[in-house]
């Protein structure tokens, strides 16, 4: 599962990079472009870092960053649509992927927290 999510997050970042390269050269589009490239690539980079975490707590913390960056990426995609810079139909699949990645990460955080809590309870006994 980790390898699948690694690949999905990297593919998401690449798709956003390609999108950004096609945006108009207006000031507003380029400001958003810089923000979304940063947040979408951070999704992939931080997920990869989470897979190398040295502890469950570090894993959870890094996934929290992934969640924030994925949600931020969705925000920038929404802004591109709502500002009229890009038509919704061109971004629908990217927006869906950002939503799905966010949901997967939230679920992973919840599972990891439950697991950590169970381990803590066992140690306390």
Q: Which tens digits make up the pLDDT trace of 65-86? A: 999 999 999 999 999 999 999 9
In this prediction, residue 115 has a pLDDT band, given cuts at 50, 70 and 90, of confident
In this prediction, residue 125 has a pLDDT band, given cuts at 50, 70 and 90, of low
Task: Give the predicted TM-score (pTM) of the model.
Answer: 0.91
CB 24 within 8 A of CB 85: yes
In this prediction, residue 4 has a pLDDT band, given cuts at 50, 70 and 90, of very high
Whole-number mean pLDDT of the chain? 95
Sorted by sequence, the CB contacts under 8 Å of residue 5 that are 6+ apart come out as 47, 101, 104
Query: What DSSP string describes the chain?
Result: -HHHHHHHHHHHHHHHHHHHHTS-S-HHHHHHHHHHHHHHHHHHHHHHHHTT-SSHHHHHHHHHHHHHHHHHHHHHHHHHHHTTSS-HHHHHHHHHHHHHHHHHHHHHHHHHHHHHHHHHHHHH-
Q: Which tens digits make up the pLDDT trace of 8-40? A: 999 999 999 999 999 999 999 999 999 999 999
């Amino acid at each position: 599962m980790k390898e699948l999510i690694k690949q999905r997050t990297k593919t998401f970042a690449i798709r956003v990079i390609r999108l950004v390269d096609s945006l108009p050269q207006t000031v507003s589009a380029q400001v958003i472009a810089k923000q979304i490239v940063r947040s979408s690539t951070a999704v992939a980079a931080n997920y990869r870092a989470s897979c190398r975490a040295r502890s469950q707590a570090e894993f959870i913390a890094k996934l929290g960053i992934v969640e924030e960056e994925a949600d931020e990426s969705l925000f920038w995609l929404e802004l591109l649509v709502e500002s009229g810079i890009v038509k919704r139909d061109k971004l629908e699949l990217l927006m869906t992927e950002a939503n799905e990645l966010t949901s997967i990460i939230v679920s992973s955080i919840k599972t990891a927290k439950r697991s950590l809590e169970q381990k803590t309870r066992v140690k306390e006994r």
